[in-house]
Structure 1
Amino acid sequence: MPRPIILGVVGDSAAGKTTITRGLVRLLGEEHVTHIAADDYHRFDRRQRAEHAITPLHPACNYMDIMEQHFREVRAGRPILKPVYRHQDGTFGAPVYVTPRQFTIVEGLLGYHTEALREVFDVRVFLAPLEELRRKWKVDRDCSRRGYTTDQVLEELDRRESDSATFIRPQRRFADIVVCFVPGDHGQFDAEVTLGRGLVHPDLTPFVDGDQRGLTIVDAGTEHTLAISGGIDPGYAATIEEAIWDRMHFASHLRSERLGEFTVGTQLHRSESLALVQLLVLYHLVTARASVALGADGLRVAS
């Protein structure tokens, strides 16, 4: 059996990591995906962090060496005994036995902080939403799900700012795909997707049409950025999606109408820009798996 394909999704707290990966898990099938939260490798619980005056964004607050060891084991297809951090109350639970499946998705804060970690991933995604938007998402999430007050969340964001600037944001330079969501003019989020040189991305230049239908490209040397309007015409978005699916015809069994779905409260919504982002990531996952199945070590062309 080919080794697992490893996707890294890195970004600051409440950057949208779970929103991006949820649709991918639905397409790939939960029975084929192992999920690992890098937060499980925190060295200190919530009370201890307060006593040490350290944030979870600092490498010293995490067992980086054990993370490196475990991720290498997963890439090799070997099981691990993974620690568990419980966000609900900020304490640790009993470790769990994790067996790698066809795909492994690792979400976290420091996934690209060391070279040993970076080498594990077949596909590296970094999420960098507009900071004002991320702060709103964090307040909404932590107040509704983690028992914080608004003032507590805002104070914690201020405490974390220095570590975020020092340790989290610099990791974007190691990503194959950097995704920045910003509020658009259509009641949806626009997506700015920077495609790095580490992987060969699908050529979408035939679909660039200025601002008329919602897709533009900005060249920047060795990488370029797709600007996907949240108000992109759904029919035009479907045409672009079809072109990407054609590039991975061997994975046509994964096709689904559920790409781009997200929830606000109990309301289910769909975003065409989110769907295109998810499909670009999916493209790299399934082509990497096909490459590994044929005996290669993956598709990476540069670090």
Structure 2
Amino acid sequence: MKQFYIQAASSEPPIIIGLAADSGCDKSTFMRRLTSVFGGEAAPPKGGNPDSNTLISDMTTVVCLDDYHSLDRTGRKEKGVTALHPHANDFDLMYEQVKAIKEGRAIEKPIYNHGTGCLDPPERVDPSKIFVIEGLHPMFDARVWELLDLSISLDISDDVKFAWKIQRDMVKRGHSLEGIKASIASRKRDFDAYIGKDPQKQHADVVIQVLPTELIPGDNEGKILRVRMIMKEGVPNFEHVYLFDEGSTISWVPCGRKLTCSYPGIKFAYGPEVYYGHEVSVLEMDGQFNKLEELIYVESHLSNTSSKFYGEITQQMLSHADYPGSKNGTGFFRTIVGLKIREIYESLRLKKAEKKELTKVQAF
């Protein structure tokens, strides 16, 4: 029998966030933006395995779901499956450990060593106020998905993903173009079946969809992006962000005296849609900012951003101007999602405190 947890429930169990995305979708930058909202830089556990995938900051813990691989690299090769295939992952252990964290218990979690392709001895992970599970399958198993307080999917189109992988693997890692194409092709069947199509995106509360720009016909370089934040209606403690007029259909090109724009310009859109049978609201940005400080002009036209003061989104973006995506919708919308997670945490904490007070009153 595997040991799932090692201590009694804490007084304040965490909220659980699930982030689904394929390899190469820049989840790490998302995590850095998220943890910065709550303060402190995310870092591996002190004194632990240097190959740990876990990141801890003042209020957050981020666990990589690669640690729940049931097959190491050799085992996957022998069975002819990729890491995306369910047979290569231990969903029972994932469920038991996320459930334990949800109940305020520490766990002994495996470590998947990306260098060796093997599973290292487990590490202790304690509950934190914000607990994020990120990787390929946070919403694949219904038991795990139902434990999430907010589920997010990064949906990167094939064209953009290919451009990003070339920039990362060919330019930075010295991989050949043929090798990159072969790697993508080897994962495509399992990605479509278990990650990219219906199985997880339909369950996500928020989808950040990254597409090629429509401002440059036929563009496939992946440098100018069209990014859509798809927000499901009726999510507890989550009010969707809207542009100008809630529920309306808006198209806005703000370039002019208050927003510096060079070719191909910048365009925003907002409106209701239906996504996998769910009513959603969609906020879209196509293009990029020339001067990041001018983002405050766009921010002033948005409502329900969950910011605590005027200009907080712009401040967050400027403080991390060196992060990838800071001038386009990927950084902009990921920052907003970080503020939304903070609001959900504070709302749930308040409800727990009110429930506790009510229990005390009823006891007298």
What TM-score results when the alignment is normalised by the length of structure 2? 0.71
The CA distance in 1 between the partners of 2:321 and 2:203, in whole Å, is 25
Out of 22, 29, 46, the residue aligned to residue 32 of structure 2 is 22
Matched, 1:189 2:193: no
| 1:147 to partner: Cα distance | 8.8
| 1:75 to partner: Cα distance | 1.6
Matched, 1:176 2:214: no
| 1:157 to partner: Cα distance | 2.0
Secondary structure at the aligned position of 1:65 is classed as helix
CA separation of 1:26 and 1:275: change in aligned 2, threshold 3 A? same
Q: Which moved more, 1:231-240 or 1:160-169?
A: 231-240
Query: 1:252-272 CA deviation, whole Å, 9 max, x = no partner?
Result: 999633356424xxxxx7324
The CA distance in 2 between the partners of 1:260 and 1:192, in whole Å, is 21
Q: Which moved more, 1:135-144 or 1:24-33?
A: 135-144
Counterpart in the other structure of 1:212: 253
CA separation of 1:147 and 1:31: change in aligned 2, threshold 3 A? farther
The CA distance in 2 between the partners of 1:232 and 1:101, in whole Å, is 35
Mapping of residues 67-86 of structure 1, within 5 Å: 67-86=94-113
Counterpart in the other structure of 1:94: 121
Counterpart in the other structure of 1:291: 347
Counterpart in the other structure of 2:286: 229
CA separation of 1:72 and 1:218: change in aligned 2, threshold 3 A? same
| 1:217 to partner: Cα distance | 1.5
| 1:3 to partner: Cα distance | 2.1
Q: Which moved more, 1:13-22 or 1:225-234?
A: 225-234
The CA distance in 2 between the partners of 1:79 and 1:215, in whole Å, is 44
Secondary structure at the aligned position of 2:181 is classed as helix
The CA distance in 1 between the partners of 2:136 and 2:305, in whole Å, is 34
CA separation of 1:105 and 1:93: change in aligned 2, threshold 3 A? same
Check whether the contact 1:179–1:192 (CA below 8 A) recurs between aligned residues.
yes
| 1:142 to partner: Cα distance | 5.1
In the alignment, residue 112 of structure 2 is paired with which amino acid?
Y
The CA distance in 1 between the partners of 2:113 and 2:172, in whole Å, is 12
Out of 254, 272, 275, the residue aligned to residue 331 of structure 2 is 275
CA separation of 1:278 and 1:149: change in aligned 2, threshold 3 A? same
Q: Which moved more, 1:64-73 or 1:145-154?
A: 145-154
Mapping of residues 139-158 of structure 1, within 5 Å: 139-141=166-168, 150-158=177-185
Secondary structure at the aligned position of 1:100 is classed as coil
Identify the structure with the greater helix proportion.
Answer: 1
What TM-score results when the alignment is normalised by the length of structure 1? 0.84
In the alignment, residue 251 of structure 2 is paired with which amino acid?
G
The CA distance in 1 between the partners of 2:341 and 2:107, in whole Å, is 22
Counterpart in the other structure of 1:238: 296
In the alignment, residue 330 of structure 2 is paired with which amino acid?
L
Out of 242, 246, 249, the residue aligned to residue 308 of structure 2 is 249
Query: 1:18-43 CA deviation, whole Å, 9 max, x = no partner?
Result: 22222111222322110100011111
In the alignment, residue 12 of structure 1 is paired with which amino acid?
D
In the alignment, residue 85 of structure 2 is paired with which amino acid?
H
In the alignment, residue 126 of structure 1 is paired with which amino acid?
S
In the alignment, residue 136 of structure 1 is paired with which amino acid?
A
The CA distance in 1 between the partners of 2:201 and 2:179, in whole Å, is 28
| RMSD between aligned residues | 3.1
| 1:57 to partner: Cα distance | 0.6
**Unmatched tracts of structure 2, length 5 or more:** 1-10, 40-56, 217-222, 255-266, 354-364
Check whether the contact 1:237–1:272 (CA below 8 A) recurs between aligned residues.
no
Secondary structure at the aligned position of 1:7 is classed as strand
Larger radius of gyration: 2
Q: Which moved more, 1:240-249 or 1:20-29?
A: 240-249
Counterpart in the other structure of 1:266: none
Secondary structure at the aligned position of 1:51 is classed as helix
Query: 1:212-232 CA deviation, whole Å, 9 max, x = no partner?
Result: 123202421411221112335
Check whether the contact 2:244–2:303 (CA below 8 A) recurs between aligned residues.
no
Matched, 1:121 2:148: yes
The number of aligned residues is 292
Counterpart in the other structure of 2:356: none
| 1:167 to partner: Cα distance | 0.7
Matched, 1:136 2:178: no
Query: 1:27-78 CA deviation, whole Å, 9 max, x = no partner?
Result: 2232211010001111111122111111111111100110011111112221
Highest relative contact order (Cα 8 Å, sep 6+), 1 or 2? 1
CA separation of 1:74 and 1:192: change in aligned 2, threshold 3 A? same
Check whether the contact 1:190–1:229 (CA below 8 A) recurs between aligned residues.
yes
